[in-house]
Amino acid sequence: MHRIFQWFSNPPSDAPRATILLRLMVGGVFLWEGILKFVYANQGVGRFTKLGFPFPDSTASFVGGLEIVGGLLILLGLGTRFVAIPFFIEMVVAMLATKIGLYLGTSPLPLPPSPPQAGFWAVLHEVRSEYAQLLTVAFLLVAGPGPWSLDARWARKRTGDQRQWDSWSEMESALPAALSPGSLGEPAVAAPAGRSAMSETHAR
């Protein structure tokens, strides 16, 4: 369990800098779609009611809140892997809930304004947004948010702190060796020899 948490909390920061463009896209879409669920009932509770979700009011509020908070976190690149998992699940559920009925021609949602309005090609056309969001979230889950993110900044800070701690540890381990009895005793042995030599000189 600890290793799993470490994997999620320490995403790689070596993804291309252009990864920020993907974060702006997917995070922005989730953010404004979450806001729309509260602003327009047909995008929130109304849509969930038509699709047959249990407790549509609570479900719509939960999903809308998740999209707002999670979208902001992706835009910042903070907790990217933690946020990517629920978004990945949400996209899979959204595709299954809306596109099976569209394929069969039994969708409770309004049909597309122009053909194809049902079947395989209709699904491919209408699923484009969910498909793009799903694969982008999967990319962020695997590759991380890139160097221009709060996750990467904190990773660099942890690395710097660890290097400083290692250097202090090396210094502390070197001190006992430098202050060992053998190293301190050498000058003490040499001192009497030096004094005896001086006393012989004076005696002459």
Residue 185 has pLDDT above 60, yes or no: no
Better pLDDT: 184 or 68: 68
32 with 43: CB under 8 angstroms?
no
pLDDT score of 161:
61
Question: Is residue 196 over pLDDT 70?
Answer: no
CA–CA separation, 124 vs 100, rounded Å? 11
Predicted confidence band at 54 (pLDDT cuts at 50, 70, 90)? very high
pTM: 0.77
CB 149 within 8 A of CB 76: yes
d(CA 144, CA 137): 10
**Which tens digit of pLDDT belongs to each residue from 71-104?**
999 999 999 999 999 999 999 999 999 999 999 9
